Structure 1
Amino acid sequence: MIDFNAVSKQFAGKAAVSNLTLNIAKGQFTVLIGTSGCGKSTTLKMINRLVEHDAGTIQFAGEEIRRFNPQALRRRMGYAIQSTGLFPHWTVEKNIATVPTLLGWSKPQIAQRVSELLALLNMDESFRQRYPHQLSGGQQQRVGVARALAADPEVLLMDEPFGALDPVTRATLQQEIARIHQLSGKTIVLVTHDIDEALALADRLVLMDKGEVVQQGTPVELLTKPASEFVRQFFGQSEWGIRLLSQASAGQAARRGEWLEEDAIVESMTLREALSVFIARGTDKLPVRDGQLRPLGVLHFADLLQQKRS
């Protein structure tokens, strides 16, 4: 879907991105992460030509992006940012409809699409006629995501979209965007400085430093096979084991054919979350139910120690 080949970008004679080669597959959730000033936001903005690259090539759907009219290119790519960028004097409905209106969609088409997106983001119809100042920060961010998805773009670009939110709202919206990705299969590229957010969302993780890719791969690959001391230190040696537990679910590790008549956890809970339940309950076994709340098996505390091996 998106290919960077030996791409470089400078600002005031200083390299922001150097000789970047990167492939983002169709339908993949790619997360760019790294130290402050490492070039991750610049890399994201070069995809939709908000920032023009100086050298190398960037291809979108097999075509060099400079062959596209910038406005036409951006209408094929949703863009969500930390500040949401909502128009303050427009209603939620009008904000969401920004790109479909520019593309000439009919009023019935727009109305239907707004309803679909409100439902997708768990907002009821009463939000249609509200204004941004009448919304909480989390609700504004949901509208920003809805606007980015409104014209059914091929790619969704997200630059620190949840960075200004409180931890509870942030966690909720992370779950929402993961659900949207699962339902839509869209190509998503997200920039974040939050390691746990990156590990929770990414299919493919790209770690950058000083304008270059240090290592890329699945979250488990970066955690278990760090390519350098920088990678090892970045993910935190003291928290390495806990972060690895976030990459597997209780359902994956539960022992089938066993059951306990106690309060059960759900199969989608990560082993990191299950560890907290083990400690809170002072037990070494937890029953696990599937998505339909049927008995699935039993998770043993001792099995958490086997995660690196598996």
Structure 2
Amino acid sequence: MIEFMQVNKAFGDHPAVKNLSLRLEEGAFSVLIGTSGSGKSTTLKMINRLVEPDSGIIHFSGQDIRELPLLALRRRMGYAIQSIGLFPHWTVAQNIATVPQLLKWPKAKTNARIDELMALLGLEPDLRARYPHQLSGGQQQRVGVARALAGDPEVLLMDEPFGALDPVTRGALQQEMRRIHQLLGRTIVLVTHDIDEALRLADNLILMDGGEVVQQGTPLSMLSAPGSEFARRFFGHSELGVRLLSLRRVADYARPDENVQGEPLADTLSLRDALSGFMTQRRTVLPVVDSQGRPCGSLHFSDLLREEPNDARAP
């Protein structure tokens, strides 16, 4: 979907991106992470030409982005940022309709799209006529994401979209983004400095430092096998175990056909959440239930130490 080929960008004497070659696959949730000044935001902004590269080529769906009309390129890409940027004197409905109106969609189609996105993002219908100052921070951010998705873009670009939110609201919106990605299958490229957010959201994780890609892969592969001392330090050597638990599901480690007592764990939980359950209940074995609440086995505290899930151990 998006490919950087030996791309460079400098601001004055400071190189922001150096000889960057990177492929972002169609339909993937790619997350750029790194220290401040690592080049991640510059990389994101070059995709829709908010920042122009000094040299190199960026392809979007097989075309050099410099050969595409700028407005046409940007209308194929939704863009959501931390400061949201809602128009203060426009209602929620008017803000969401920004791109459909630019595209001259019929009114009925635009209204249907507004309703669809508000439902998708958990925004109550009575919010349509409210103004941004009448919304909570979380609601404003949801409207910002809805506006970015309104024109049915091929790609959604997100630059620290949840950075200003409280932890509870931030966690809820992260779950919403995972759900939306699974439902819509859109290509998403997100920039964050929050390691846990990156691990929770990414299919494809790109670690940057000094304007270069240090390592790229799935969150699990990068935590399991950091490719450099910088990667080990960045992800926090002392916290690697807990972060690995957050990427593993109870369903993959539960022992089937074993009934035990206790408050059950949902099989969709992470092993990190299961650890909290063991601590709260002061038990070493807990029952596991599926999405319908039906018993489907048990999880032992010792299972948290296993490197491989059940299917990997099967003969």
TM, length-normalised to structure 1 = 0.98
**How far apart, CA to CA, are the structure 2 residues paired with 1:292 and 1:24?**
36
Question: 1:18: which partner in 2?
Answer: 18
SS of the residue aligned with 1:129? coil
Unaligned segments of structure 2, at least 5 residues: none
Q: How far apart in 1 are the matches of 2:7 and 2:185? A: 27
- Residue 285 of structure 2 corresponds to residue 285 of structure 1: yes
Tell me the equivalent position of 1:125: 125
Q: Which residue of 2 aligns with 1:60?
A: 60
2:176 is matched with: 176
Answer with 282-291 or 89-98: which moved more. 282-291
Maintained 8 Å contact 1:286/1:299: yes
Question: Which secondary structure state, in structure 1, belongs to the residue aligned with residue 10 of structure 2?
Answer: strand
Pair 1:262 & 2:262 matched: yes
User: Once the two structures are aligned, what percentage of the paired residues are identical?
Assistant: 63
* 1:120 aligned partner, one-letter code: L
Alpha-carbon contact 1:224-1:308 (below 8 Å) kept: no
| Aligned twin of 1:231 | 231
Aligned length: 310
CA shift at 1:70, angstroms? 1.1
The Cα shift of 1:116 comes to 0.3
1:189 and 2:152 matched:
no
Taking a change above 3 Å as real, the CA distance of residues 273 and 49 of structure 1, as seen in their structure-2 partners, is same
Q: Which residue of 2 aligns with 1:252?
A: 252
CA offsets 1:108-155 (integer angstroms, 9 cap, x no match): 001100000010011111010010000000000000000000011000
Q: How far off its partner does 1:308 sit?
A: 6.3
Name the SS for the 1:42 alignment partner: helix
Give the distance between the partners of 2:15 and 2:8, measured in 1 at CA. Answer: 7
SS of residue matched to 1:206: strand
Aligned 8 A contact 1:121 1:176 in 2: yes
Corresponding position of 1:96: 96
Deviation digits for residues 257-310 of structure 1 (CA, Å, limit 9, x no counterpart):
112243212111111111111111111112111112222221111010013686
Task: Provide the residue aligned with 2:107 in structure 1.
Answer: 107
The answer to whether the 8 Å contact 1:244/1:308 transfers is no
CA separation in 1, counterparts of 2:246 and 2:45? 29
Q: Identify the residue that residue 208 of structure 2 maps to in structure 1.
A: 208
Distance 1:289 1:67 in 2: 54
1:50 is paired with a residue whose SS is coil
What do the CA deviations read for 1:184-206 (whole angstroms, capped 9, x no partner)?
Answer: 11100000000000001100100
Q: In structure 1, how many angstroms separate the alpha carbons of the residues matched to 2:133 and 2:19? A: 43
Distance in 1 between residues matched to 2:153 and 2:284, nearest whole Å: 47
Counterpart residue type for residue 111 of structure 2: A
Q: Match of 1:260, SS?
A: coil
Name the amino acid aligned to 1:302.
S
Instruction: Tell me, in whole angstroms, the C-alpha distance in 2 between the residues paired with 1:307 and 1:172.
Output: 29
2:216 is aligned with what amino acid? Q
Tell me how far apart the structure 2 counterparts of residues 154 and 219 of structure 1 sit (CA, whole Å): 24
What TM-score, normalized by structure 2, do the two folds share?
0.97
The amino acid of 1:293's aligned partner reads G
Separation in structure 2 between the aligned mates of residue 261 and residue 108 of structure 1, nearest angstrom: 55
Q: For structure 1, list consecutive stretches of 5 or more residues without a partner in the other structure.
A: none
State how far apart, in whole Å, the 2-side matches of 1:308 and 1:240 are.
16
Whether the 8 Å CA contact 1:287–1:297 is kept in 2: the answer is yes
- Give 4+ residue runs of structure 1 displaced > 6 Å after superposition: none
Give the conservation status (yes or no) of the 8 Å contact 1:245–1:307: no
Aligned to 2:74: 74
Write out per-residue CA displacement over residues 71-122 of structure 1, whole angstroms, 9 at most, x where no aligned residue. 1101000000001100000000000000000000011001100000010011
Distance 1:175 1:280 in 2: 24
Letter in 1 for 2:235: F
Q: Report the Cα distance in structure 1 between the residues aligned to 2:23 and 2:287, rounded to whole angstroms.
A: 41
Q: Distance in 1 between matches of 2:203 and 2:17?
A: 23
* Cα-Cα RMSD: 1.0
Cα shift at 1:13:
2.3
Does the alignment pair 1:166 with 2:166?
yes
